Structure 1
């Protein structure tokens, strides 16, 4: 049982009607048109899955972000990020962006932590010096 198409549209699953042009889908033995190339066709390279993500890159980002709460894991995350980027270059793994984010966040939080400690030291020195002077 066939139903003729109505309107001026083309359904690729519908067989061409007499007088209509074949849309040019590839059949066995024909060359594949430009817009229809897919990895499943013979002669085309197979699909390459993404390389595995480096575990140290994930750990670098997690440690760097945990530095917001702990203040001590940020430099660890930055160092892990440097190690992870080296491993990624050597092994061809994925996760370079994670490692880079861990490096950036880790060093920024480390710098802020150093500035905060320096501020506290200055405040303590000022307080100790002002506490020694009395007006008796």
Structure 2
């Protein structure tokens, strides 16, 4: 037996992370798609809704390939982005047709 080389390290315990392995975590694009979907619903419509849809689709492709979490966040971001875009289209059509303008002026005759 040679004393020049140290013995190998013991194997990791059951359920312990493998040394040097990085945990997968949540996909950042899924988080941002959800954030942009919420912002698109609240105020920005097209400006935030379209990037939310794009990021959600990109995240749905990356999540299984990288073994990350966040599939539900990506789905929620996709749904909210679609709703934001549809809502913006409806508001745009109503505004252009003159039916989306509300006048709260009262006439006292």
| TM-score of the two chains, using structure 1 as the length reference | 0.54
Q: Does 1:69 align with 2:43?
A: yes
Higher RCO by CA contacts (8 Å cutoff, separation 6 or greater): 2
CA positional deviation for 1:69 = 1.7
Partner of 2:107: none
- Structure 1: tracts of 5 or more residues without a match: 1-43, 125-136
1:87 to 42, 49, 62: 62
Distance in 2, Cα, partners of 1:82 & 1:45: 36
CA positional deviation for 1:79 = 1.3
Which of 1 and 2 has greater Rg?
1
CA positional deviation for 1:45 = 3.7
> Is the helix fraction higher in 1 or 2?
2
- Runs of 4+ displaced beyond 4 Å: none
Partner of 1:78: 53
- Structure 2: tracts of 5 or more residues without a match: 1-12, 18-22, 100-109
